[in-house]
Structure 1
Amino acid sequence: MRPTTAAFPAARLRRLRRTRALRDLAQENHLSAADLIWPIFVREGVDVAEPIASMPGVNRLSIDRVVRAAQEAADLGIPAICLFPYTDAALRTEDCAEAWNPENLTNRAIRAIKAEVPDLAIMTDIALDPYNINGHDGLVVGETILNDETVECLVKMGLAQAEAGADILGPSDMMDGRIGALRTALEAAGHRDIAILSYAAKFASAFYGPFRDAVGASGRLVGDKATYQVNPANRLEALRCVARDVDEGADMVMVKPGMPYLDICRAVKDDFGLPTYAYQVSGEYAMLAGAAERGWLDGDKVMLESLMAFRRAGCDGVLTYFAPRVARMLAGRD
């Protein structure tokens, strides 16, 4: 649709900006707690909240603390959280077998949350990097990241998470064919109602640095991830990735990172019409939170503006570390 308007002075666009009430009536996009997914880092221990230096205000939480955070999310109207494990170094191996251990950190956290906050949706991450001694999302042989062998591991990982009680599986690995393999396996195992929110357009970005610190993968990464994540210069390739994942059975799709890729968000929503999400990744969060901490930006205003940008670009929701803070603000609790 092409916007049209009368000529000046019949049309004075400032008329609808004159007061707060008029601006509210004319507002095109809105943000609510229901648009948010809160990513949470899980670690071993009891009553632990361990600060992450590169992500001001974000902590790694022990499972008991994660359960409390889940209850907070539910109380604030946030519909879902997403779990990311900080795996003990001794459990990181070349075969990544801890990824599908029914008693691994993520699966224990899922069961603990479901026991206390059953109606909250739990999203998980499906990739091998938290369990890989090499820091990659897939199995590594020499300098090659294996595709088909990795997909077999990801399927086992996804099935273990589904058995633990996850509601949404989030394959973030970018291996070819993993959505179809996972969907087939879920159907065969009776998990027909488990949703897949695919990281369909995940770019080989430099904005992931603080996240890798948070899950303990930074110093372990050998090489880079450019052989399986999308070239940041490639828009059409990203859309082909989305089309593939939709064809293979993804229920929802994600663009990652978020703010530098709003054009991709808009194109995905317009072209496919599926529920479309963006991940406001650790580097984006760190820039805004770090600048606000130093007084260089108004933290609350840039937080809300950045999230509204996702909604304006067509996103149905956003994964953001700001989730509890913005939900409290929207509810008038801050």
Structure 2
Amino acid sequence: MALRRFDLEAGGDSFAFKSETEEKIVFWRGKYPADKQRSAVIPLLWLAQKDNNGWLSEPAMREVANRLEMPYIRVYEVATFYTMFRLQPVGKFHVQLCGTTPCQLRGAESLKDVCTKEIGKAMYVTDDKRLSWEEVECLGACVNAPMVQINDDFFEDLTPESLSAILGRLRHGADVTPGPQIDRVNSAPEGGTTVLTDASLFDGSRTKVSALPNLPKPPEPTPEATGRPDAQGPTNVHREEPAKVNDKVEPVKAGDARASTFDDLKRINGVGPKYEQMLNDMGVTQYAHIAAWSQEKVDEVEKLLGFNDRIDREKWVAQARLLADGKFDEHDRDYGRGKN
């Protein structure tokens, strides 16, 4: 690794974190116990670099050392070891050009020529203080090679022409759009995908589970529901009713304005057609059933459905109480799709 020294002359004599950064410093220091505060040195150096126009001066490193009660030399060692920390001034827009093998194979050398022509040699800052650049190791976007990182944004699938246009817009204060610079979304194929286009591969229909195995079947319809007076069958035959999740829940009574054999459980945010079917198979057919669940019952249903704290997180019981009381507008306002 090359020797790295910080610029003493350009750093001045003092440094202070911005007021809005103090909250972030408290956040990072709060991750470590009182006797391990030095563990926060890397995030604090990163914050100092951001507050110091993209580079670390010696006073900035000294301020981090004072905050963490560390010897100055220990902070200098960290800052000079990690190349993510820059030790001399950079432009307002600092270009990190990936020069690792995938980008090299895809034209990084041509991009390096553009940076040299448009900006100057590596780590040179243009006279207007807007641009600088350096070559770095892999930035983790190999499938979109060649690419550069400008401040916090990735610009991918570059050509010499597109990179030159981006630098020109930055130099003149115009907006630029990060991400792939060709017709594709993220790392998807250029021009759109040509494989795995069948919607049934993704909508869950091929793996749809109509019911969990070994669950009791729902009770037979009552004569009132079927309209057949003989649906009850022989009265002298004893039948054991299978245990259901709601075996102790009083259903909505007939005559109630809310009465319904099956409520639309999908109205509960978090319950889709598949889970509604599973709940129905458990004997859960009405909002009142869910509204009456205790925490013990919630845990039981979570286990049956294979969830982990989802029912509490999505507030199924609170939603069901509003729906069971007919407060549909209030429910949609507080728990409408996308509000959990």
Task: Mark yes or no: TM-score above 0.5.
Answer: no
The structure with the largest alpha-carbon Rg is 2
TM-score (norm 2): 0.22
Higher relative contact order (CA 8 A, sep 6+): 1
Q: Which has the higher strand share?
A: 1
